[in-house]
Structure 1
Amino acid sequence: MRILHTSDWHIGRSFHGHSTLAALRQVLDALTGQVREHDVDVVIVAGDVFDSSAPAAACYSVLSDALRSISDAGARVVVTSGNHDSAARLGFQSSLLRGGIHVVTDPLSIGTPITIADGDGPVHFYGIPFLEPALVRHLWTGVELRSQHQALAHAMSLVRADLADRPGERSVAISHCFAAGVEQTPGLERDIQQGGLDLVPLSEFEGPDYVALGHIHAQQKLSERVRYAGAPLHYSFGEADKKRGSWRVDLDAKGLAGVEWLDLPVPRRLVTLRASLDELLNDPIHAEHEQSWVCAQYTDATPQPDPMRRLLARFPHCATVMHLPQGVREPDGLTYAHRVRQARTDAELFDAFLAHVREGEGATPAESDLIREVIDDRSLVEASA
């Protein structure tokens, strides 16, 4: 059996205020192409299908269209809910979908697999929807569920108990969580437990032939049989250097036979550019990034006027601008009140203010000339009054 492991579609997430729906449709079309090209039997979506518990109408059409296309390409689909999803809404959506598309949102279904057969016999898919301990502990009396670790440990015990009645049969578990051994990188998905990470040891995933994880937005291999596929789109500049794609998982009659990474296209590259504003606006070296999503970090000593408008003229997809001055002076320890007390003239008062708001840098020679001109003009007006 050939499986395509994906996760974290986050349908509806914006990128610095820009819709990502069109780009996501493009990538999911490419994923459907992979299903056809590689003769995939089952596609897994390991949680965070939507980005919001209350998605807009357009998000539902993206999901429905993608799932129907995958089904038309000849694959079955197994979807589980993540921490961003509303399990109720996602579960309701499943009742409107055609056969062969399975959406797992009910915690009480854990331990009851979706069984799909191939020429070597049955393969049991155990979907584990996202388990918020405070919301599910009442479902299992006598079981302590105060953390993600405890919740996943109990879920996997239910999976293993069912597997014990199916000796020699192949299986896949699907979960949405932080697993121990995850490489923490910029753009790491938000904590699923407020107050910090709640890691699930890899030992809790013993049993199935393959474990398809979601929640981390980067491809990660925790062991041969436990992996994250990451998100199909880049959703932050911190993810810019992370591959986008899916894992192709092959099962033979004995179990896991091989895993291969399949790249997905990146509709628009992400790049962080750091230089002076003038260099960003004029240096030919940046020409290759003019159609990329751009995070511009300009290094001028002082804030520049209207940097976003000026940058958009060259980089129409500039998403964010940051002022990160290069070679900032060491603080001199002077308060604004102390600077004012030291000033003896109006020009020195201006200089004191500028030094206070510009990391210790006072007026430039040109600014000093302008300040003196304004002061002289005002003195003339006062003298003639």
Structure 2
Amino acid sequence: MRILHTSDWHLGRSFHREGLLGHQAAFVDHLLEVVEYEGVDVVVVSGDVYDRALPHVDAVALADEAFARLAASRAQVVVSSGNHDSAQRLGFGSRLMDAAGVFVRTDAGTVGTPVLLGDEHGDVAIHALPYLDPSALLEPWGLTHRSHEAALSEAMTRVRRDLAARPASTRSVVLAHAFVAGATPSESERDISVGGVSRVATSTFDGIDYTALGHLHGPHVLSDALRYSGSPLAYSFSEAEQVKGSWLVELGAGGFESAHWVDAPVPRRLSRIRGSLDDLLLDPALADREDDWVQAVVTDVPRPARAMEQLRRRFPHTLVLQFPAAAVEANTPAPPAPGRSDHGITLDFLAQVRGVPATDAESALLLQAVDACCHDPDQDVLVSAGSGA
């Protein structure tokens, strides 16, 4: 059996206010091409189909299109819900979708009941574990303590109980949406910690022929049979160096045989650049970054005026402009002098943070802002850029 492992689509997500739905649609096209070219039997999606519990109608339409096209393909599909998904909304119509070969599992009550598929070697029991909220399951499942470790341990007890009742030749696949020890998070995952504890031990999944993990956005190999596929697109600049894609897993008669990586298309690269504004605007080595989404760190002190505007002339897709933390700390303003007027304090602040005093025009604008916040608009008089209070 050939299994294509993907997760964390986050349909409807934006990237620093840039819409990604078109790029996500391109990934769905790619997924269908892989299914046909590689002869995939089962596509497994390990949670976070959507980016939010109440997804935008365009995201729902794309998910509907993706599942309909997969249902019409040579592959069957098994989907579990993630912490971003609404279990009720994603799971709506799941019993009807089963008949089309799209098995969506979002209800904790189904844990321990697999999707049973087969090949020439016999049955494969696919246990799709939805995201398990420890708080919600503490009483219903009689957990000894409120943690992801406890919830997933109980879930795996139910999975193993089911597998023990099946013929020894039955192979096992588990989908789980969790933070498993040994993997490294990115900046774009939502924190799922409970009481500061979120990690689950790799031993939780011992004895399973293949565990398809979701939640973390970078690919990870924790063992041959325990892997994260990561997200198909980068959702933060911390993922700029990650290679996105899916795992193509081969199950033989004895269980896991191999897995190889299938790169996903890259609609627009992410680049992080750093230097003085002049260097960034003139360096010929940065020519191949000009069409990338860019995060720029400008090191000039004082900070240059209209830096973002200038950067976008060369790098039109600059999304984030930052200044070095050291420079910010060095310019942290001292406490205001006693008796200093509000207008004078704003001028001192601007001079310390920026490194140069305000111009007369800026001083006048700051005075207007201060007066707009005062009960008595006449209490401050105009202070020129070069004078005191």
**Into which bin does the TM-score normalised by the smaller protein fall?**
0.7 to 0.9
CA contact (8 A) 2:217 2:231 kept: yes
Quote the residue 1:107 is aligned against: 108
- Matched residues in 1 for 2:125 and 2:345: separation? 76
Alignment of 1:128-167 (within 5 A): 128-140=129-141, 142-166=142-166, 167=168
Counterparts of 1:1-385 in structure 2, within 5 Å, are: 1-94=1-94, 97=97, 99-140=100-141, 142-166=142-166, 167-184=168-185, 186-187=186-187, 189-324=189-324, 335-337=335-337, 355-358=351-354, 361=355
Q: Whole-Å Cα distance in 1 between the matches of residues 122 and 76 of structure 2?
A: 16
Task: Give the Å deviation of 1:285.
Answer: 2.4
TM-fit CA distance, 1:36: 0.9
- Consecutive unaligned residues of structure 1, counting only runs of 5 or more, are 341-347, 372-377, 380-385
Q: 1 CA distance for matches of 2:349 and 2:116?
A: 72
Tell me whether 175-184 or 114-123 shows the greater mean CA deviation. Answer: 175-184
Checking the alignment, whether the CA contact within 8 Å between 1:108 and 1:139 is kept in structure 2 is no
Query: 1:309–1:327: structure 2 CA closer, same or farther, 3 Å change rule?
Result: closer
Contact (CA 8 Å) 1:301, 1:325: kept in 2 or not? no
Distance 1:350 1:214 in 2: 48
In the alignment, what sits opposite 1:375? none
Deviation at 1:281, TM superposition (A): 2.7
CA distance in 2, matches of 1:79, 1:258: 22
Contact 1:351 1:362 in 2 (8 A): no
- State the identity as a percent: 43
1:277 offset after TM fit, Å?
A: 1.8
- The equivalent of 1:382 in structure 2 is none
Alignment CA distance shift 1:282-1:115 (3 Å)? same
Alpha carbons of 1:108 and 1:306: their partners in 2 closer, same or farther (altered >3 Å)? same
Deviation at 1:294, TM superposition (A): 0.6
What's the TM-score, normalizing by structure 2?
A: 0.85
The letter for the 1-side match of 2:178 is C
Correspondence for 2:376? none
Classify the secondary structure of the residue corresponding to 1:65: helix
Structure 2: runs of 5+ lacking an equivalent: 364-381, 384-389
Q: CA RMSD in A?
A: 2.9
Distance in 2 between residues matched to 1:96 and 1:293, nearest whole Å: 41
Distance 1:182 1:337 in 2: 50
**8 Å CA contact 2:78, 2:103 repeated in 1:** yes
Separation in structure 2 between the aligned mates of residue 162 and residue 36 of structure 1, nearest angstrom: 32
Residue identity in the other structure for 2:353: V
Q: Deviations over 1:221-240 (max 9, x none)?
A: 11111110000000000001
Q: In 2 relative to 1, CA 319–352 (structure 1 residues): closer, same or farther, beyond 3 Å? A: closer
User: In 2, Cα distance between the equivalents of 1:354 and 1:187?
Assistant: 31
Tell me if structure 1 keeps the 8 A contact 2:78–2:104: yes
Distance 1:295 1:115, change over 3 A: same
Q: Is the 8 A contact 1:352 1:362 kept in 2?
A: no
Q: Deviations over 1:24-60 (max 9, x none)?
A: 1111211211111110000000001100000011111
Q: Which range moves more in the overlay, 89-98 or 71-80?
A: 89-98
Distance 1:261 1:150 in 2: 32
- AA partner of residue 72 (structure 1): A
Residue 303 of structure 1: CA displacement? 2.5
- Following the alignment from structure 2 to structure 1, what is the Cα–Cα distance between the partners of residues 192 and 329? 40
DSSP 3-state at the match of 1:280: helix
Counterparts of 1:349 and 1:160, CA distance in 2? 67
Deviates more, 1:213-222 or 1:306-315: 306-315
Change (3 A) 1:331 1:9: closer
Separation in structure 1 between the aligned mates of residue 9 and residue 189 of structure 2, nearest angstrom: 12
Q: How far apart, in 2, do the equivalents of 1:296 and 1:231 lie?
A: 24
Secondary structure at the counterpart of residue 162 of structure 2 = helix
Letter in 1 for 2:352: H
Q: Does structure 2 conserve the Cα–Cα contact (< 8 Å) formed by 1:299 and 1:326?
A: no
Q: Deviations over 1:136-158 (max 9, x none)?
A: 23433x44351110000000000
Specify the code of the residue in structure 2 equivalent to 1:265.
P
**C-alpha distance 334-139 of structure 1, shift in aligned 2 (>3 A):** closer
- For residues 298-328 of structure 1, the C-alpha deviation after alignment (integer angstroms, 9 at most, x for no partner) is 1110222232233222222111111227778
Distance in 1 separating the partners of 2:332 and 2:152: 54
Distance 2:96 2:225 in 1: 33
SS in 1 for 2:9: coil
1:243-298 Cα offsets, whole Å, 9 max, x none, are 10111110111111111111111110000111222222333322211111011111
Query: Which residue identity is paired with 1:62?
Result: L
Contact 1:191 1:197 in 2 (8 A): no
